[in-house]
Amino acid sequence: MRIIRIFGIVVLLVLSVPMMQAAVFADVAPGDVIDKTNWQKAEELLPASVLDWVKKGDFVLNIGELAYDEKEYFEFNVKESLTANIGRYKVDEKDIIVDAKTGTPPDFISGLPFPQVDPEDPKAGQKFLYNKHYLQFNTGNQDVGFQAVWVGTGGFEREIGAGWIAAPMDGYPGAQSIRNPDGIQRYTLIAVDRPYDIAGFNLLLWRYKDERQDLNLSYIPAIRRARRMSPANRSDAFVGSDFCIDDPNGYDGKICMFDWKVLRKQDALLPYKSKNPERLTRTKRGAWQTTADVTPGEYGYQTEGWQGAPWAPVNLFWVKKTVYVIEAASKDRYYNYGKQEMWYDPDVRFPKYKIIYDRAGDYWKTMMIGFSAYGSADGKMKFMLVDIQDIIDDRSQHASLCENASKRNLWKLFTEVEMDDFTLSGFQKYCK
């Protein structure tokens, strides 16, 4: 009997070794460096595509933590809406926001429409993404520049420069006093200014609050014509890059044009550029502006001796948080993307990864999104801004990296814009 007992103890000890090893590989902590030698530690915390990059040595992940509480970096009216708007709105059968009592679209929504979202709610996916859109509305009018940098296996290829001017007509309290007879939710104008071969390509968006399709106009210099785009065109490549027109900020399309489903809740490693809030300054005209000291994005193709992918970020760090994975599928059968999976951070109401499949259901591209805190020196102004927008096409082994607020891109928020620019006649002055 004693021999049997000893044999049983030995067997248990032997069986426990792989279990103990699995436990070691089950989690990460600040200070860890995850690479191809220990990728198992992040195995359940990353999209399969990102984990594969780590396995191959294309990416190295530095695990860190934030030195601030993200929930403190919402504008005052957003914080106010977290209690004032509880139960106030719902999503109807057309996936449009309506008043929960009357069932009719509200004239104006201040802050976030859905402070509390039950992930079991059949409309949870729509509510999560509406919150994402409205959070962006609450930085008011925007006048920002950006560059899309094309990177292939050989490194840098080309760069395009453009401006993004947006005027939200909902969410942001400053818009409430502006006449809005057309029921617009947001106006947006994108103007490409370089290089010379595509300079002058412009886009104008009118997004309606109700179920009407977006009004999208594009001006193409080669034919010197402005043409109306269909919603399916929003899945076309943006001036030949790896981005499509709906990709900015994770998803920039109309919510009711997609079917949404919450797949699961899980822990995830999410990308960040700075452990501390970035700084804001006040302009003479009262806008809030980013500074030239904002943390720059740095990539493999810029780094001497880097052995990973040329489009891999080398100065990011990853923070472990809880996300909801949401599946989105376009209702338009001509949309170029098939299903998309968004890894949505409920703390900041923003997607941090988007996994894109083709219409046959095969994996295609991955987008990484960062959303970070910005604040004034006196702490009186605080808000969140997107600061990472990188998309990698694993089929073509190519990437497009977006340079957001930077030394050469001083972003203006809560700024003045010329509302006439968003009219059909005002758009013409950009179309030359």
pLDDT tens per residue across span 164-208: 999 999 999 999 999 999 999 999 999 999 998 899 899 999 999
- pLDDT per residue as tens digits for the range 121-175: 999 999 999 999 999 999 999 999 999 999 999 999 999 999 999 999 999 999 9
Q: Is 392 a member of any domain? A: yes
Burial 315-324, CB ≥16 within 10 A → b, else e: ebbbbbbebb
Q: Which of 127, 160, 90, 357 shows the shortest CA–CA distance to 255? A: 127
Contact call for residues 320 and 64 (beta carbons, < 8 A): no
**Which pLDDT score, from 0 to 100, does residue 26 have?**
54
3-state secondary structure (DSSP) of residue 216:
strand
- The pLDDT of residue 221: 80
Q: What is the pLDDT of residues 368-415, one digit of tens each?
A: 999 999 999 999 999 999 999 999 999 999 999 999 999 999 999 999
Residue 102 lies in a domain: no
% of residues, the chain, pLDDT over 90 = 87
What single letter denotes the amino acid at residue 23? Answer: A
CB proximity list for 15: less than 8 A, separation 6 or greater = none
The pLDDT tens digits of the residues spanning 44-68 come to: 999 999 999 999 999 999 999 999 9
Q: β-strand 278-282 against 363-376: which pairing, if any?
A: parallel
- Residue 276 counted as domain residue: yes
pLDDT digits (tens, 9 = 90+) for 84-99: 999 999 999 999 999 9
Same domain, 198 and 324: yes
d(CA 280, CA 290): 5
Quote the pLDDT of residue 22.
38
Q: Phi/psi at 160 (nearest 5 deg)?
A: -115, 150
CB 338 within 8 A of CB 329: yes
Q: Are residues 47 and 182 in the same domain?
A: no
- Looking at the predicted structure, is the pLDDT value of residue 13 above 60? no
- Residue 93, domain member (yes or no): no
In the listed set 46, 62, 78, which residue is the last one of a domain according to the structure? 62
Q: Distance of CA 127 to CAs 15, 89, 236, 258, 349, Å?
A: 46, 10, 26, 13, 10
Domain co-membership, 28 together with 149: no
Rounded-to-integer distance, Cα 388 and Cα 348, Å: 15
Q: What is the CATH number of the domain that holds 358?
A: 2.50.20.10
Asked if residue 427 has pLDDT above 60, the reply is yes
Is pTM, for the whole model, over 0.85?
yes
The whole-angstrom distance between residue 270's C-alpha and the CA centroid of its chain comes to: 12
Give the span between the Cα atoms of 362 and 231, in whole angstroms. 23
Does 400 reside within a domain?
A: yes
Does residue 8 sit within a domain? yes
Half-sphere exposure (CA, 13 Å, Cβ side) for 252? 23
Q: Of 43, 62, 81, which residue constitutes the final position of a domain? A: 62
**Between 362 and 231, whose confidence is greater?**
362
Whole-number Å distance between alpha carbons of 234 and 229: 8
Q: Do 279 and 415 share a domain, yes or no?
A: yes
Please check whether residues 174 and 290 belong to one and the same domain. Answer: yes
The 10s digit of each residue's pLDDT in 292-307 is: 999 999 999 999 999 9
Q: Are residues 51 and 139 in the same domain?
A: no
Q: Which domain holds residue 215?
A: 134-297+316-430
The number of folded domains in the chain is 2
| Predicted local confidence at residue 152, as pLDDT | 98
Do 30 and 167 have their domain in common? no
- What pLDDT was estimated at residue 11? 40
Residue 379 sits in the same domain as residue 270 = yes
Bridge partners of residue 214, in order along the sequence = none
Please state the rounded mean pLDDT for residues 251-266: 97
Nearest partner of 220 among 201, 193, 233, judged by Cα: 201
Q: Could you give the percent of the chain with pLDDT greater than 70?
A: 94
Neighbouring CB atoms inside 10 A of 378's CB total 6
Q: Are residues 389 and 289 in the same domain?
A: yes
Closest CA to 348 of 147, 136, 42, 184: 136
Residue 127 within any structural domain of the chain: no
Domain boundary among 62, 91, 106: 62
**231 falls within a domain:** yes
- Which of the four pLDDT bands, split at 50, 70 and 90, describes residue 329? very high
